[in-house]
A and B are shown apart, each in its own frame.
Chain A
Amino acid sequence: MSGLVEQFYQSFIEADRWKRYLEGLGVSFTVTLGALALGIILGILVAIIRTLHDQQRAGQEKAGLGFLNKICEIYITIIRGTPMMVQLLIMGFVIFSASRNLVGVAILSLGINSGAYTAETIRSGIMSIDPGQMEAGRSLGMTYATVMKDIIIPQAIKNILPALGNELITLFKDTSLVTVIGLTDLTKVAIQIQAKTYQAFMPFIGIAIMYLVVVLILTKLLGILERRMRRSERR
């Protein structure tokens, strides 16, 4: 029993190690939020290009749109067809090997990865909106872009909020992979402390609990947000 207390002391209290866990958690949060924002922006762009492309009338296809759509298809194929860890290694050691901004590289890698998955989610959200909404907006003289931005996308996002919530949680857990490019996130902190104290149990079980608690809190918050957004329309 005293062995466990000793281990706990060494893993968390000694040399103020708990502070390092918190710093690591902060890095994981930063990467998660940055990647989520980038992923949603990329996802919306890809989703709009693919929707526009699919909605073209036969015989009136625009060449530029076909090209963009092809790029989107290649992007999604590559990202979904290769492991995230390999993508991180390529970004960290091939494309941005000279960069010191590891947080930036991590956000970029995870964001680009997330965008490929979010795009299909957002596309299904856009398709779920009654075409009458676009028609009403256009009949009032507003441009396609304005109607998309102010009317279609907000409703689409609301419909896919549960799916986007899952994406947020997946992203947060996937940040543990950024350890491989040398970024000191929560997982890296545990590895470093384990290397110092030669004790694996406390650091790794400890961060497992931390990840779990954060995920539980996020799940709860998303539930509240979802209920609030639904209620706002019932007034």
Chain B
Amino acid sequence: MKEDKELIRIEHLAKSFGDNLVLRDISISIKEGEKVVIIGPSGSGKSTFLRCMNLLETPTGGKIWFEGEEITSPDVDINKIRCHMGMVFQHFNLFPNMTVRRNITIAPIRTGLMKPEEADAEATRLLERVGLLDKADAYPASLSGGQKQRIAIVRALAMSPKMMLFDEPTSALDPEMVGEVLEVMKELAESGMTMAVVTHEMGFAREVGTRVLFVDEGMIKEENTPEEFFNNPQDPRLRDFLSKVL
């Protein structure tokens, strides 16, 4: 693992919905193997920030590079870029009209990454890894929230991404199911995956994060190692925020 190779670079990112300016000016560089945790009050733009990274939201200003290629340029094949960036959503967004196995194999097959047999074998391997192989032929409606989110993580991993984006992956879960999802994410972090995680789980940020960002009013107000971030916060808004959530 080359710890110093830059994976994604964002410069002066801005995003507005009509007159509503959600992201003002965000610049950041994430290196391979880093686990960047993004926290902030609701409505601060942290989810929009994450969704700009794979262009689910089109930025209205600024540039983004992924592995040195400018993905905000109009001629870039965004589908190809997205193959290398997995995303996990707050509401899982599994495909209810397909079995768990099909949920996992459809993207690798349809994008031409794998042949059906290879995708099947990969799905089996990944399901085993998260302990859900017995659910391979079930439909999402029959799964618990925690199981759904673990499947959603597996579905993203099946594309062998270089980076994973997590958009509040545990916010829609019953409290007792948060643990099993965080466990999978921790394991993934230990395997060396580059991650950007928007979350309210401060314990996870402290334990797994290599860098923590505080986003507020569409800007990065503070950026530090987890120890400094939580033990010695500088920004007054962050201090206030931490005093409420910790």
Q: Which A residues lie at the B interface, using CB under 8 A? A: 57-58, 130, 132-133, 135-143, 146, 150-151, 154-155, 158, 232-235
* Distance between Cα atoms of A155 and B110 in the complex (Å): 18
In this complex, the member of A139, A143, A154 whose beta carbon has the largest number of chain B beta carbons within 10 angstroms is: A139
Give the interface SS of chain B, mostly helix, strand, loop or mixed: loop
* Distance between Cα atoms of A130 and B137 in the complex (Å): 23
In this complex, the member of B87, B93, B155 whose beta carbon has the largest number of chain A beta carbons within 10 angstroms is: B93
Within 8 A of A (CB), among B106-145: 106-107, 110-111, 137-142
Whether A135 touches B89, Cβ cut-off 8 Å, given contacts A142-B111, A232-B139, A235-B142, is yes
Listed by A's residue number, 27 A-B pairs whose Cβ atoms lie within 8 Å are A58-B18, A132-B91, A132-B93, A135-B56, A135-B93, A136-B89, A137-B95, A137-B107, A138-B79, A138-B82, A139-B54, A139-B85, A139-B87, A139-B156, A140-B83, A141-B79, A141-B82, A141-B83, A142-B107, A142-B110, A142-B111, A146-B110, A151-B98, A233-B96, A234-B141, A235-B139, A235-B142
Whether A138 touches B56, Cβ cut-off 8 Å, given contacts A132-B89, A235-B138, is yes
Could you say which residues of chain A place their CB within 8 Å of the CB of B231? none
B142 touches A234 (CB 8 A): yes
Whether a CB of chain A sits under 8 angstroms from the CB of B8 is no
* Distance between Cα atoms of A150 and B97 in the complex (Å): 9
Across the A-B interface, the 5 shortest Cβ-Cβ residue pairs: A141-B83, A136-B93, A140-B107, A139-B87, A132-B93
Q: A139-B85, A139-B156, A140-B86 are in contact. List 4 more A-B contacts (CB 8 A).
A: A140-B106, A142-B107, A151-B98, A234-B142
* Distance between Cα atoms of A79 and B163 in the complex (Å): 51
Whether a CB of chain A sits under 8 angstroms from the CB of B58 is yes
* Distance between Cα atoms of A183 and B96 in the complex (Å): 44
| Distance (whole angstroms) from the CB of B171 to the closest CB of chain A | 14
Shortest Cβ distance from B156 into A: residue: A140
Contact of A155 among B18, B79, B96, B156 (CB under 8 A): B96
* Distance between Cα atoms of A150 and B106 in the complex (Å): 9
Could you say which residues of chain B place their CB within 8 Å of the CB of A233? 96-97, 139-141
Whether a CB of chain A sits under 8 angstroms from the CB of B159 is yes
Could you say which residues of chain B place their CB within 8 Å of the CB of A154? 97
* Distance between Cα atoms of A58 and B137 in the complex (Å): 43
Within 8 A of A (CB), among B15-53: 18
Could you say which residues of chain B place their CB within 8 Å of the CB of A138? 56, 79, 82
Whether a CB of chain A sits under 8 angstroms from the CB of B80 is yes
A141 touches B93 (CB 8 A): no
Shortest Cβ distance from A139 into B: residue: B87
* Distance between Cα atoms of A137 and B152 in the complex (Å): 11
Shortest Cβ distance from B141 into A: residue: A233
